[in-house]
Structure formats: structure tokens, C-alpha cells
Structure 1
Amino acid sequence: FRPTLLLLVFGCFLSGCISLGEVDVPVSSFAARAEAAAQAARVVRVVHADTYILMVGATTYRLRLLGVDAPETTQPFGKQAMDSVGRVLRAGRVVLVAKSGYDLYGRTLGTVLLPTGTTTAAGRPVPLDSLLVSRGWAWAADERRARPRLYAEQLSAQQRGLGLWKCGTAEPVPPHIWRGFNAKVKQLYRGGCTW
């Protein structure tokens, strides 16, 4: 190739008249799609077992994890779930985040992937929603049931008596129901089983 011809071909490539062809990578799983759309963020702190303060550059934002619902911190198992997640998401840890809009409270909704030190055998990052449900730290809460894997992981955690399910499946009250209880009813659910 002559240098001028090489520059012409390179310039044409940059302007879009020549391409290397589109690479279609089939993305079949939710985690793989999230990984493809993810950006790196640094953990500032865990607010709640399913809500975190993250930082990208100099900007911080509150992220609510999609697909799960963790117990409220005032609810039985809530503080333990938050502490358990806090051990995984220590301040300063870098995670991958795929954002999916906002909720009614202005929180960013999204998926968190753990890229370092917690990878599967295939070397893929571990979805945090999966980790929470499989360890019994949260309920699967995928309203459209687009991720049946979470429900299978919850069933497995229930059968093994992990986390929330230590004393059976009848004891834990999902957070969306807990929030509707008055103080007197909440008091009825405070005794019994401990983490």
C-alpha cells in the first residue's frame, strides 16, 4: 500500500463508508446483557441490602437493585442482610453497573455485577441480585418473571434454610407487606427466629 492510499482507506473507515462488519454476539442471559451495558462504579456505602450509594467519576448516585427485595433494616433479618451485603460491597470496591431508569423516589434502578474476586467458573462477573437471593438475603422480586433463575435460587435457599429462610418459609414477611403494617402488628413479627 502507498501511504496516501492507506490514509484514504483509513479516512473512509473512520467516516463510515467502510466497516469491518458488525459483530453479532448472541446475548442470551440477563447477566450477560447487563455486563455488555455496564459501566464501572465505586461503592461509597450500602444504605440498605438492596440500595447503595455509588460513584462514577466525581458524581454519586443512589442505586436500587432490580430483581430483588431485601428486608427493611427495621424488619427482622434486615440489619443482618444489610451487614452481609456490606461485607461484599465494601466502600471503595469497584463494581459494574447497568442502569435501567429511575423509580418513584428518584433512585437509579439497575443491575450490579461483581467483576473481581467473585467470578463464576466461566470467568463472568456474578450478578449481585443472584448472590442476595441464593444466600437468603433477599426475595426474588421480578414482577414480570423475566428471570426465572432468581426464583429457582430462592427455592434452593429456602430448601437449605439459608438467611431469611432459617426458620422456614412462613416466618419472613416480604418488605412490601411489612411497610403496610402498623407498629403493633410489626411487634408481633419481631420475636422467634434469629439470623
Structure 2
Amino acid sequence: MRKITMTFFLLISILFLSQIEGKIVGVKDGDTVVILLEGNIQKTLRLAEVDCPENGQPFGKNAKKFTSEMVFGKMVTFVETDTDRYGRSIAKIYYDNNKYLSEELIRAGYGWWYYHYSKDKSLENLEHNAKQNRLGLWQDENAIAPWDYRRAQRNK
């Protein structure tokens, strides 16, 4: 039991030590923001576990507006989870007393649970609920997942 307790506290400590704070100074789209870090350094962050409609897709502007309303101009904390093929940091962003931005986007119906890169089944449940209640992009019965939209754009 003692070993489990020490491991738990070690993991929690690592999580808090790896959190970085900054101010959101730009929103590129629903799932990509620019953060201003200490030392006046700007960094582009791609939200983890969510994929929002592209700017050219229905509800793309709505997703961007939602993200802006939630975090633009605010101090947030984030944890980097990976780097994407464009060199952007993939991050879990937390704001307003530890709200998880990706979760809030999915809950409001402005993003898909990015199940290709996430195993968090609670996000799948939030997407299902948003779909059932026809929230956000789920008002469109023919909503196309962004990954399918991007593939179709590449094949044109």
C-alpha cells in the first residue's frame, strides 16, 4: 500500500511540474491557439483529443468563436502531450478553475472526439450526448468529420 501511495504522489507531482502557464493571444481555429509564454515567447498549441470543423466547413467559425469566448485573453495552464507533423505542440489546455478546453468543445457540440489519438471514453460519451441533443455542429445531419473533410480536400 505504501508503494502505491508513493507512486500516486510521484505521478501527481510530475503532472503539476509539467504544467505550463501562459496567456492565449490568438485563436487560429477551434482547435488551434497561440499562447504567450514567459519571456514574451509565442507558441502554437493544437488541442489534444478533439478535432473541430475546419474554417471552410459548416460550424468551423462557430467552433473558433467558442474557443475564443472560452480562452482568448485568459491565463491558462497546459500540458504538452505530443508534437504533430506540422511541429505544433499538442496540448491539454485548462482554464477557469481547471476546465478542460477539449472536453468543453465536445460537450457544446463544436468538436469531434479525436478517437484516433485519444482513449478517453468520457469524451466519447460527451460527443454522443451532444449528438443526441443536436448541439452545435450536430444540428447538421450530414456533418462531416474534419479528418474526412481534409482527406477529400487533398484528393481534389
The 8 Å contact of residues 49 and 117 in structure 2, kept in 1 or not, is answered as no
Separation in 2, partners of 1:145, 1:87: 25
Report the CA distance between 1:90 and its aligned residue: 1.8
Instruction: State the alpha-carbon separation in 2 of the partners of residues 42 and 173 from structure 1.
Output: 32
The letter for the 1-side match of 2:123 is L
Q: Provide the residue aligned with 1:142 in structure 2.
A: 115
Q: Which has the larger radius of gyration?
A: 1
CA distance in 2: counterparts of 1:160 and 1:26, whole angstroms = 40
Is 1:89 equivalent to 2:71 in the alignment? yes
- Structure-2 residue corresponding to 1:19: none
Query: Structure 1 residues 86 and 27 mapped into 2: Cα distance closer, same or farther (>3 Å)?
Result: same
Deviations 1:160-192 (A, max 9, x none): 110011133xx1101111112259x9xxxxxxx
* Deviations, residues 120-169 of structure 1 (Å, cap 9, x unaligned): xxxxx11111000000010000325420010000000001110011133x
Alignment partner, residue 3 of structure 2:
none
User: Quick check: which one's helix share is greater?
Assistant: 2
| Residue 89 to residue 127, structure 1, CA distance change in 2 (3 Å) | same
Relative to the length of structure 1, the TM-score reads 0.69
Q: Which residue of 1 aligns with 2:43?
A: 61
Please state if 1:176 is matched with 2:147.
Answer: yes
Cα RMSD for the two superposed structures: 2.4
- Match status 1:80 vs 2:62: yes
2:67 counterpart SS class: helix
Does the CA-based 8 Å contact 2:49-2:118 persist in structure 1? Answer: no
Moved over 6 A (4+): none
Q: State the distance in 2 between where 1:157 and 1:98 align.
A: 26
2:53 is the alignment partner of 1:71: yes
Count of residues paired in the alignment? 148
Structure 1 residue 37: Cα displacement: 3.1
**One-letter code of the match for 1:80?**
N
Percent identity over the alignment? 24
When residues 34 and 177 of structure 1 are mapped into structure 2, their CA distance, relative to the original with a 3 A threshold, is farther
**Within 2, Cα distance between the matches of 1:145 and 1:67?**
5
Cα distance in 2 for residues equivalent to 1:181 and 1:23: 46
After TM superposition, the score normalised by the length of structure 2 is 0.85
Alignment partners' CA distance in 1, 2:117 and 2:60: 25
Q: Which consecutive unaligned segments of at least 5 residues does structure 2 have?
A: 1-5
Mapped contact 1:34–1:111 kept (Cα < 8 A): no
List runs of 5+ in structure 1 lacking aligned partners.
1-21, 120-124, 186-195
CA spacing shift, 1:150–1:62, aligned 2, 3 Å: same
Which residue pairs with 1:41 in the alignment? 22
Alignment check: 8 A CA contact 2:22 2:77 kept:
yes
The one-letter code matched in structure 1 to 2:25 is V
